[in-house]
Structure 1
Amino acid sequence: MMLILPIDHVIIPVADLAATGAAFEAAGFVVTPEARHSAAMGTANRCIMFDRTYIELMGVVEETSANLPWRRAIKHGSGMGGLAFSTSNIQVTANDFKARCIRTEALRHFSRQTNEGELRFSVIRIDPSETPGFQCLVCEHHTRELLWRPELLRHPNSVTSIEAIFLPSVEGLGRFGQQEGVAVMQGNSGLRLRGSRSASYDLTSSCDITIEVIAP
């Protein structure tokens, strides 16, 4: 089964953020420095940016009610722990979900500080019962220019985009399908990326995923 979903980024919850970031760097990716979310979130991340999407490596730095889903995901092993869908108007998306009886948590506004400035974004978490065993959310970026910076897109391994996402289960994701986006398929946790040089990377020791890079 293949779905086309409006992917903003994939979320990989990890127990050791520094070690996982180093593993991605060793594979030829540019990885952002660690950045802390708000105190309410209690999380930190490192990101691997592509043309329109990115990979978020997420770690928990302090236990809060907001990061309970990520702590559960880390406890049960890393791998692909969540998907963030993109939106240009999160309130319109919230209204659409309500009309379609898709259960969600309340709209939240978050920020995290970087050397380039404060990143701001709004998030709606989809109730886990809608996508069993998987955390999905919708994200609207308010400061895209601070996140998608040119120097973060030039990866030594030539990767430019996410071609496909493989998940152990795609149950419940069909309700979020669109005509444009990224292919999501059932399979072992992993990513198919596009670059100018074919390659494969086994990152199971750090985050339980494998990566295949395909060339044109």
Structure 2
Amino acid sequence: MVRGLDHLVVAVKDLEAAGRAYSELGFTVTPENRHPWGTANRLVQLDGFFIELLGVADPALIPEPSGNSFSFGAFNRDFLNKREGASMLVLESQGAVADRSGFHRSGLQMFDPFSFDRMANLADGSTVKVAFDLTFVRDPLSPEIGYFTCHNKYPENFWKPAFQSHVNGAKGVRSVYLLAADPSDHHEFLSAFAGQREMRATSLGLELQTPRGRISVLSPRAYQLLAGEAAASSVRGEIPQIAALEIACSGRTALEVIPADRLFGLTLILSPEE
């Protein structure tokens, strides 16, 4: 199967401040939720895609990776020791078994299976159970980016219309932009990860269309041409990295770019809905 964009993990040092900043941009932000491994999140839900603002709530609870296990908490803690920003790209899943089988056939490096559940806090103060199967894979050419698929076991408890209504008209994800010195180096991994063998080479880099949004891989120069000088100059840390997220917004007539240095390490592009 071809996997659409599911969510983006954005690691931040001050979760409350990040939630407030997104709220001021006209997004509805969910209440805080805690993971048993020491991290906490607040979400921005769109139409089938969400932004996961993630902070470290209790470092003592974070397990260290061991053997072939992947520690979500440790990965994001270590990421935050270097910088803030989008740390992980997540694709949708119809089932972890199918994902693992497909990744194995494609020769991707996988970590041990991982599943968890937690209680989610709703806007009215009530709670519901959510649970997920996560399949983590490794791209040796992108060590600073975490990749996994996410199988949502209780989507009816997770997705809420009240969380998907935004003052700024945000509706859905249009594109995730990755920066790389040579975009063509990442063709093989991203094609296998998304299950999409067709990837278009453009004058700016590589473009992979999924059932929900695009994955674009750009060189630094191409990114500057696309997002502008302010966004390009706000890039911090090593590449490859996830540099920007584009969201389609109803009622908007002009494109707006909020550079990463104003928004916790991730450039946000708000574009008119087509």
The TM-score with structure 1 as length reference comes to 0.89
Deviations 1:35-85 (A, max 9, x none): 0012xx221111000111111111112232221111121112112211111
2:214 corresponds, among 183, 188, 199, to 183
Q: Which residue does 1:45 correspond to in 2?
A: 41
1:54 aligns with 2:50: yes
Q: How does 1:48-127 map to 2 (within 5 A)?
A: 48-63=44-59, 64=62, 65=64, 66=71, 67-115=73-121, 116-127=127-138
1:103 CA drift (Å): 1.0
1:192 CA drift (Å): 1.2
Q: How does 1:122-141 map to 2 (within 5 A)?
A: 122-129=133-140, 131-141=142-152
Q: Which residue does 1:14 correspond to in 2?
A: 12
Q: How does 1:157-196 map to 2 (within 5 A)?
A: 157-169=168-180, 171=186, 172-177=189-194, 178=196, 180-185=211-216, 186=218, 187=223, 189-196=243-250
Q: Which residue does 2:30 correspond to in 1?
A: 32
Query: Structure 2 stretches of 5 or more lacking a match?
Result: 65-70, 122-126, 197-209, 224-231, 233-242
Identity fraction in percent: 24
Q: Is the 8 A contact 2:10 2:266 kept in 1?
A: no
With a CA cutoff of 8 Å and minimum separation of 6, indicate the structure with the bigger relative contact order.
Answer: 1
Q: Partner of 1:93: helix, strand, or coil?
A: helix
Q: Partner of 1:155: helix, strand, or coil?
A: coil
Q: Is the 8 A contact 2:3 2:93 kept in 1?
A: no
Farther-moved stretch of structure 1 (193-202 vs 23-32): 193-202
Determine which structure has more spread, i.e. the larger CA radius of gyration: 2
* Root mean square deviation of aligned Cα: 2.0
1:132 CA drift (Å): 2.8
The TM-score with structure 2 as length reference comes to 0.71
Q: Which residue does 2:237 correspond to in 1?
A: none
Query: Structure 1 stretches of 5 or more lacking a match?
Result: none
Q: Which amino acid aligns with 2:130?
A: L
